[in-house]
Each structure stands twice: as C-alpha cells, then as structure tokens.
A and B are shown apart, each in its own frame.
Chain A
Amino acid sequence: MKQFFILLLGGLLLVLIQAMPWNYIGPRVVQLNLSFVFVIFLALYHPSIGSWFLAFLLGYTLDTLSGTPAGLLPLINLIAFSFIRVARRIILFESLLSQTVLVFALSFSSDLFLLTITKIASSYTYGSILKDLIAHSFLLAALSVPLFAPFNKRVRYKGPVFK
C-alpha cells in the first residue's frame, strides 16, 4: 500500500510538471509526455493491480488537464500497459537497451494512434508529422534511461524459460 501511494504521488507529480506553464520561462520548452514513460516503468517494474489503476488514473488526469477527448489517454495507457504485460511472455525486456527501444516504439505508436483518432493526422500528411513523432519518441526513450537504470539490476525474469 505504501509503495502504491509513493507511485501515485510520483505519477501525479509528473503530470503536474507536464502541465506547468513553462511559457513563463521560455515558449520553446519541449513538451514531453513524461507520464507515459512512467506507465511503461510501472508495467516493467511494478506490474501490480494498483499499477493498472494508476495507468488509468494518470491518463484520466492528463485528459482533464488537456484538450484531448476524455477517455482517450487512459485507453492509450492501458493498451501500452497490456502490450508490455503480454509481450513479456515472449520477449525479454531485461536489458536497458531493449527497454529504451520499447519506450521509443510504444511512444511512437501511441502518438500515431492519438493523431489518427483525433483526426489531427488528416490535416497533415503522415510524412510531415513523422519527423516530429520520431523526435518526440527519441527524446522520451533517452529520458527513460536514467529513470530505468537504477531499477534495472533488480529485475528478475519470471516468465517461462525457452530452450
């Protein structure tokens, strides 16, 4: 329970950082979806029942603070969470490199999903937004390294062993 509250506090703090009016300091501060990295972190390192609820709650909070249709971000978070839980049965995400690649791939796909479902992509060609998506996903993947590194040593693979 204590661990859940610490994670909850950490998640809500990340949302607060995301929603902070950085434009008071400089309008060009890059907007990164930090809470999404946190959801991936939860799926990799704390896959408890509480984490499912946290993934939902963080998405809902972000929805409320932003202009996206309510329910969309919890859905994206839960799909990413489920994907990791299912994929872990067949793919090993033990090394930091594989986790970074995972963050990149999931961030890219979730952004693409969001853009398609909100019809933002329809007012652009996919080619023109691809550069933005890759840059954003790359930054998130780079950011995940210092977050995941301290916990990486504690991971023990608990799935079936393939020989």
Chain B
Amino acid sequence: MPSFFRKHQNLLIASFLIVLALSIYSSNLVPNDNISFFGRITLNIYSPPLQAIAFILKEVRNLWFDYIFLLGVQKKNLELQKSTDLLVEQNMRMKEVLLENNRLRKLLFLKSRSSTKLVSAEIIGRDSVRWSKAVLINKGRKDYIKRNQAVTTYQGIVGRILAVADGTSKVLLITDINSSVDALVQRTRARGIVEGRASNLCELKYVSSSDDVRLGDLVVTSGLCGIFPKGLTIGKVSRVEKSRFGLFQHVELTPGASLNKLEEVCILFPEK
C-alpha cells in the first residue's frame, strides 16, 4: 500500500488539489456573506505590505508632481481660480435651492432626508487579475465595514464591498462583469440595469427601444437595488445603438468616477 502511494503520489496530490479547487469554486457559486477563514488570513497578511507600498508610491508620485514636474502650474492655477469662483457662485445658488427645498418639504409634511454617514478609505491594492475589476481598501471590520456597502467618490459610484477582513476590504467595481446596479437615465427617467463589461466601460441593459436615450445623458442610481441610495451618478452615456427589431437598445456608459485613477473613496453607511 505505501508503495502504491509513493508510486502515484504526484497523481494523487494533483487529483486532491484539483478536487479541492473545484469544491471551493462550487461552494462560492452561492452568494455568501462571509469571507472564508483562509481568505481573511490572506487579506490580513497582504494588507500591511500593500499599505506600505501604496504609501511609498504615493510619496514618489507627490515628489514628482510637487517638486519636479511644475511646468504650467501657474497657468493651471489661474484656470483653477476661475473655476473656483464659478463653483462658489454655483454653491451659493444651490444653498438657496436647498433651503427652499427644505421649506417646501416641511410644507408637504415630507420626512427630511437624513444625511448618510460616510467613511473615507484609501486604495491600497488593485486587481491582480486582468479581467476582473476589484480594488483593496484600507478599511475593514475594525471600522465597522460590512459586505454590500456602497463605495463612491465625488464623481460617481465606484462599486460595493465584496469581502471584509480586519483592516482591509475588497471592493467590486461597477465595471466588473459580476456587478449590476439598478439605474435611471436622469433626463428621461428611462429604467435599466448597469452591468460591468470587464473593461473600463459599463452597459445599461434592458432599456426599452422606445425610451429616449441620447449621447451624454447622465445615468444615476434608482435606489432600488438596496445598496446605493437614489440619485448617485453612475456615468454618462457614451454610445447608443438601436436595432430595428429588438426589444431593447444597446447603451454603453463611461463611469463617472475615474476607476483607473482611484486613490481615495468613500464608503456609505446605510441610513437607519
């Protein structure tokens, strides 16, 4: 018997490991809220070196841009000053609208919207496999992060929390093939579901051919998927294709948030 094992040890080990990989794969096909014990350990082991590397890379980048690469800074400064003036003016008008909105809400006995709690986090790792779209952030269970919390930036939504370890979490980006978000075209209120395309683009699926969707239209969250609050920017329509006979039109989106250049993100805590 021992000689049999010795003779076929490679075959036995290969078979055992392949069966193990298959069983892990099949057990993960069912959505599960908990990350596995070994998965959590792996994330915890990789978190400190990734945080250190992210810090170093960021410092190198800052050194380059803050001290060495200063060409055209004055011109940019003037442009920024102009846009700041414009934004301040816009902000004043918005405040007026907000106050008016609150007054009207009170008049209509509507419940005022409570402000959602936000926690900021830094990106410490990117996806190590080319075709899937996920990033690692430096906040985890210790910061009360849970699975399926929404992750955004000021430009638009980024994705949702996929797995949580002690000090790290994995975020599934909206461009991943497994991501889907219920959405609305802001201008026409046409409904659809935004799905990732495993590239830098998304697709707005199931938009009826009769709906009016145009290039440049803003697509926002509908608030129906239970993860993202209503009205957050997802992206802009970058391509529309209407077939003559199909039920739906093909709508491509460019995400509002620059997912390739992400550095900091905000994690939304659901309203109680």
A binds B: yes
Q: Which residues of A contact B (CB under 8 A)?
A: 15-16, 18-25, 27-28, 31-33, 35, 47, 49, 52-53, 55-56, 59-62, 64-75, 78-79, 81-82, 85, 111, 114-115, 118-120, 123-124, 136
Q: Pick 7 A–B contacts, CB within 8 A, sort by A.
A: A18-B128, A21-B53, A23-B126, A24-B54, A60-B24, A74-B17, A118-B178
Instruction: Report A22 CB to chain B, min CB distance, Å.
Output: 7
Is the CB–CB distance between B177 and A119 below 8 Å?
A: yes
Contact: B129 with A33, CB < 8 Å? Answer: yes
Q: Nearest CB to that of A82 among chain B residues? A: B14
* Cβ contact within 8 Å between B14 and A69: no
> For the complex, is B20 an interface residue (Cβ under 8 Å from A)?
yes
**Most central of B10, B29, B43, B195 by chain A CB within 10 Å:** B10
How many A-B residue contacts, CB cutoff 8 Å? Answer: 171
Given A20-B53, A31-B130, A49-B13: A67 and B176 interface contact (C-beta under 8 Å): yes
Are the CB atoms of B125 and A20 closer together than 8 Å? yes
Interface hit among B34-42, B66-74, B106-114: B34-42
Q: Is the CB of B58 within 8 A of A24?
A: yes
**Does B262 touch A at the CB level, under 8 Å?**
yes
| Chain B interface size, under 10 / 10 to 19 / 20 to 34 / 35 or more | 35 or more
B237 within 8 A of A: no
Binding site for A on B (CB under 8 A): 9-10, 13-14, 17-18, 20-29, 36, 38-39, 42-43, 46, 49-50, 53-54, 57-58, 60-61, 123-136, 162-163, 170, 172-173, 176-178, 195, 197-198, 203, 258, 260-263
Distance in angstroms from A66 CB to nearest chain B CB is 4
B25 touches A70 (CB 8 A): yes
Task: Indicate if the CB atoms of B162 and A67 lie closer than 8 Å.
Answer: yes
Minimum Cβ distance to chain A for residue B134 (Å): 3
